[in-house]
Amino acid sequence: MKKLILTAAALLALGSATQAQETVRIATEGAYAPWNFLNDAGAPAGYEIDLGNAICEKAGLTCEFVINDWDSIIPNLLAGNYDLIMAGMSITDERRETIDFSQNYFPPDPSLFVAAAGAGVDPQALEGKRVGVQGGTIQAAYAEANLAGANTIVAFTTADQAMADLAAGNLDTILADGAYLEPVVAASSGALEFVGEDVLIGDGVGAGIRKDETELKTKFDDALTALKADGTVDKLIAQWFEGRGPYFAE
């Protein structure tokens, strides 16, 4: 009986394991436009989806995007539910302790403070303010380390939820990736503005990958290098970030 259960379990796992070798599953959040979002068809779309597909094509892999909440995206990678994370995740030393990263596919880019226009928020002297971040991001860690003493740090599950609270006046400012905020500020027709100086954290955005997946990592990195060299990456950045950059080519 025990043998039977074991065999059944083994078959079950092997079945999904062999399936896994055919398709590379890439996790994304689907709530961080224009990096990744769910389009009108209900499917993942955005810079990372286009780039991921281009890389997979180059590397001869079949890829599939899956949606996973941001706060459990690393544990579920470790658990082997998917093989890669492409979710606007910045490369940091702290994350490097648990997972590996591909080379970056988005150059290091400053994080920015955004506030309602004319609210007079001064990030150089933030005190008694409500600062919104997305929980588990580099900005959350930065705010916790540098701003927590004199301000209230409010952590949200998605960046969009934080934006909703900022729009409704429940936050004084949000600290987030510049490339996430800039299209929003541009589209707000003057309702939102950047305040203060940029904060440079992280080594750019890369794909998260389990430490034991060296083969996949090499394949991914090689394809990414080739796409950087032939300008595809910069073209996609220009397409999704509306000519803003930053670009890899000087």
78 binds other proteins (CB under 8 A): yes
Closer residue to other proteins, CB minimum distance, 31 or 87: 31
The residue from 57, 62, 148, 150 that contacts other proteins (CB under 8 A) is 148
Per CB under 8 A, contacts with other proteins among 98-117 are none
Closer residue to other proteins, CB minimum distance, 130 or 228: 130
Per residue in 86-125, is it b (16+ CB within 10 Å) or e — as a string? bbbbbbeeebeeebbbbebbbbebebbbbbbeeeebebee
Q: Is 153 helix (H, G, I), strand (E, B) or coil?
A: strand
145 binds other proteins (CB under 8 A): no
Hey, which residues does 216 pair with through a beta bridge? none
42 binds other proteins (CB under 8 A): yes
Closer residue to other proteins, CB minimum distance, 106 or 156: 156
Tokens read off for 11: 């078959």
86 binds other proteins (CB under 8 A): no
Q: Which residues contact 15 (CB under 8 A, 6 or more apart)?
A: none
Closer residue to other proteins, CB minimum distance, 165 or 228: 165
Whole-angstrom distance, CA of residue 214 vs CA of residue 237 = 27
The residue from 89, 114, 138, 155 that contacts other proteins (CB under 8 A) is 155
Q: Is 209 helix (H, G, I), strand (E, B) or coil?
A: strand
Whole-angstrom distance, CA of residue 154 vs CA of residue 223 = 39
170 binds other proteins (CB under 8 A): yes
12 binds other proteins (CB under 8 A): yes
Tokens read off for 25: 């599953």
Residues 140 and 153 sit within 8 Å (Cβ to Cβ): yes
Question: What is the identity of the amino acid at 151?
Answer: N
Per CB under 8 A, contacts with other proteins among 183-222 are 183-184, 187-188, 210-212
Closer residue to other proteins, CB minimum distance, 48 or 58: 48
Q: How far apart are the first and last CA of the chain?
A: 65
The residue from 74, 89, 199, 227 that contacts other proteins (CB under 8 A) is 74
The residue from 1, 4, 145, 168 that contacts other proteins (CB under 8 A) is 168
